[in-house]
Amino acid sequence: MRQIFTVLHKEVANTCLCNLGLTDSRRFSTKCKGMPAPRRGGTPALRLLSVAIMLMAAEMTHAQVRRENLYEFSLPRMGTILRVKLYAGDQNEAHRAANAVFDRVEELEEIFSDYRDDSELTKVSQEGAVAPRVVSPEMFELLAASQRISELSGGAFDVTVGPVVALWRAARKTHALPDAAAIAKAREAVGYQYVELNTQNRTVFLKHTGMKLDAGAIAKGYAAEQGVALLRSRGFSRALVAAGGDLFIGAPPPGKPGWEVAIDSPDLSNGSRACTVLLHDVAVSTSGNAHQFADIAGKRFSHIVDPSTGKGLEGEASSTVIAPDGATADGLATALSVMPPEQGLKAAESLPGVSAYLIRQSSTGWRYYSSPGFPQGCHEAGKGGH
């Protein structure tokens, strides 16, 4: 599989790499980036004071210059690599915190995976058309966010696209295009309008039989945000969690205005078009066909499908969205991949705190589109769009 486009966090220099063995036999990899070493002991003036005062002062000095290192951990989760980066006082506390994030994301995977027969999502797909079904708060929240993005994007994003996605997943293996009749049949059971949510009872009802929910375009961003929220609740606010191309970014690293996020371009002929933005306390997601696609009959089809045609998207492209929350960034990045660029940018800009950056291959070359709210660093990269 080719890796031509990633949103990645660039926090390099002075890194040391080590592996930690875990009690449950999983392995983390961790990198720690050294901050300036704390001063040991008291100042000459302090040494002249009494022992009691010296101890108090030493304690204060230690707290004030508490050493914070950058620790990195990664494990496979949600069909991708989940990375946790956090600043912490020592490796053990960082390790425990990252472990809690991996466990939380595993819980979310048990809720949202459409690959698992026993996930809550699979059960909703199987039984949601029989009668309204009470779902977990997480499921309800994610489906409510999905519906909002579907309405905003006119159905370009659709969490019910599962039957069509199943055909394209098969096509990736067989290298044969799904036939038109199969696509038409699958599309009958696709439609976010068939999903009925009842906020009071926290129920989901599917108003059509044969529906198959697919949260693959929104759950990773949600999970990344949940991971950072968990770290924050444990006092690690300077952190980021990345589920593949879906990142949630917490408070900036010590002494810096933000985390550097590099947005690479799928335009391999001109790598310099890649740009870097400084971010904190936001979600950023990128969708494209860099990692998952099917090459069939000389054409490349993305794993993203247009629900209105049931076809996999063609052509190299990427869509990056910055949003206050992870579900919106992730879901909208997928929606914008399907929508015409200008229309997509308008949809993104209609939401507070949301901005987008799009790269499209056209018959006349590469086109770059950036909404005015997108952070400095990428506007200059592309000459196209507005």
What is the contact surface with Mg ion in residues (CB under 5 A)?
A: 217, 287, 330, 333-334
Interface with ligand AMP includes 287 (CB under 6 A)? yes
Single out the residue of 72, 120, 158, 316 in contact with ligand AMP (rule: CB under 6 A).
Answer: 158
State the minimum distance, in angstroms, from the CB of residue 243 to ligand AMP.
10
Interface with ligand AMP includes 72 (CB under 6 A)? no
Closest by CA position to 318, among listed 373, 356, 363, 353: 356
Site for ligand AMP in 299-328 (CB under 6 A): 303-305, 307
State the minimum distance, in angstroms, from the CB of residue 264 to Mg ion.
17
Spell 90-126 as b/e; 16+ CB within 10 A means b: eeeebbebbbbbbebbeebbebbbbeeeebbbbebbe
Q: Which two tokens stand for residue 165?
A: 């996605």
Q: Which two tokens stand for residue 307?
A: 């629900």
State the minimum distance, in angstroms, from the CB of residue 333 to ligand AMP.
6
User: How many residues sit in the footprint of ligand AMP (CB under 6 A)?
Assistant: 17
Single out the residue of 121, 217, 279, 348 in contact with ligand AMP (rule: CB under 6 A).
Answer: 217
Contact (Cβ atoms closer than 8 angstroms) between residue 374 and residue 386? no
State the minimum distance, in angstroms, from the CB of residue 345 to ligand AMP.
17
- At 32 the three-state DSSP class reads strand
| Sequence letter at residue 47 | R
Contact (Cβ atoms closer than 8 angstroms) between residue 195 and residue 160? yes
Closest by CA position to 234, among listed 108, 137, 93: 93
Instruction: Name the residue nearer to ligand AMP (CB basis): 84 or 161.
Output: 161
Round to whole Å and give the CA distance between 129 and 144: 17
Q: Which stretch binds ligand AMP (CB under 6 A): 12-20, 152-160, 271-279, 371-379?
A: 152-160
153 binds, among ligand AMP, Mg ion, none (CB under 5 to 8 A by kind): none
Instruction: Name the residue nearer to ligand AMP (CB basis): 72 or 330.
Output: 330
Interface with ligand AMP includes 338 (CB under 6 A)? yes
State the minimum distance, in angstroms, from the CB of residue 24 to Mg ion.
30
Q: What is the DSSP string of 121-139?
A: HHHHHHHTTTS-EE--HHH
Round to whole Å and give the CA distance between 102 and 18: 19
Residue 212 DSSP label: B
Interface with ligand AMP includes 78 (CB under 6 A)? no
State the minimum distance, in angstroms, from the CB of residue 83 to ligand AMP.
16
- Binding residues for ligand AMP, rule: CB under 6 A, are 157-159, 161, 165, 214, 216-217, 287, 292, 303-305, 307, 330, 334, 338
